[in-house]
Every structure is written in structure tokens, then in C-alpha cells.
Amino acid sequence: MRDNFSAKNIRLLQTRVGHCCSNPDCRRPTIGPGLDEDSTVNIGVASHITAASEGGPRYDWSLTTEDRRSTNNGIWLCQVCAKLIDSDVARHTTNVLKDWKRRAVERAFRAIATLESETPAATQHYLGLKLMKQTMNSSTHLGFQRKTQPMPSLPGFCMRPRAM
């Protein structure tokens, strides 16, 4: 028997991360417009951190059915990342997923409270990319022109970099 999430818990999981994938390397928005004015497209999944049924990924015997169905045991992901975490369990442990979730909730809160969605770690990642780009520029004679180009766009509004 699968301990599925209730519709209310699915809504909570997606809303608390601003409808973005919680994988810090993805952060893809999971909801957007359909072609028709009255339609939307949702490519997000409320994934179980520890499996909904026995034998599933990261299954935890010690949890009750209620625990397994609670929002504490859920993480909002895009469909690709939902498949990824269950296909590569060794890399995507319970602790890794809980960390992703904590950071995604923090990003979503920062996004609405401060218009700043970056966590310090993500900012460092961004700065790393910027530094790498500058290093590349300085090693070419066209560096002057290239510096005037904008940063390559990063996927998803949840990855909006800080203005530097």
C-alpha cells in the first residue's frame, strides 16, 4: 500500500517553495501557462523523501503511515529531478533531500520578502561562475568586448542572480 500525500499536502509542498524545483542545481519553475487562456501546465511532483511504500527508495520502517504522508516527508521537484532522486538513491540520501528542501523553502521566503532569492551558497556558486567567466575573458584579446555582454541566463526565476 502506498502512503500518498493528500491534495492539501501536495499544495503545501509546492507553494512553500514558490512552485520551483527544490533541487539547488535545477530550480526550474514547475507551473506556467497552457496555450488556452484558462489553462495552466504543472510539471512538478510531490516526491517522497522516504518512500511511500515498502521496498521503495529510502524507505524508513520506523515511520508511521501518518508520518509518511506528512509534508515533513515530501519535497517538491520537477519531473526530471523526481526521477533522478529515485534512480540514484546512493547520491540522493534522506539528508541530501532534506537539505535541498530547507534551502528551497529559504530561497522562496527570501524571494518574496527581499526580492533576493539567492542563498549564500548559491551566491558563491554564482560568483564562481562569474569569476570563471572573467578569467576566460582576461585570457582572450576580445576580453574588453566580452565583458560588456550579460551573464548567460540561468534557468528559472528562482535562480535570479543578485545585481553585482
Specify the residue, 21 or 46, whose C-beta has the smaller distance to Zn ion: 21
User: Distance between alpha carbon 11 and the CA centroid of its chain, in Å?
Assistant: 16
- Nearer of residues 79 and 123 to Zn ion, judged by Cβ: 79
All cell numbers assigned to 58: 529510502
Considering the complex, what minimum distance in angstroms separates the CB of residue 113 from Zn ion?
A: 23
10, 70 Cβ separation under 8 angstroms: no
Query: Which chain residues interact with Zn ion by CB under 5 A?
Result: 21, 23, 26, 28, 78, 81
At residue 21, the 3 state secondary structure works out as coil
Q: Which is nearer to Zn ion, 75 or 81 (CB)?
A: 81
Distance CA 111, CA 151 (A): 20
Rounded Cα gap, residues 152 and 10, in angstroms: 33
Taking the complex as a whole, how short is the minimal distance between the CB of residue 65 and Zn ion, in angstroms?
Answer: 28
Minimal distance, residue 25 CB to Zn ion, in Å: 8
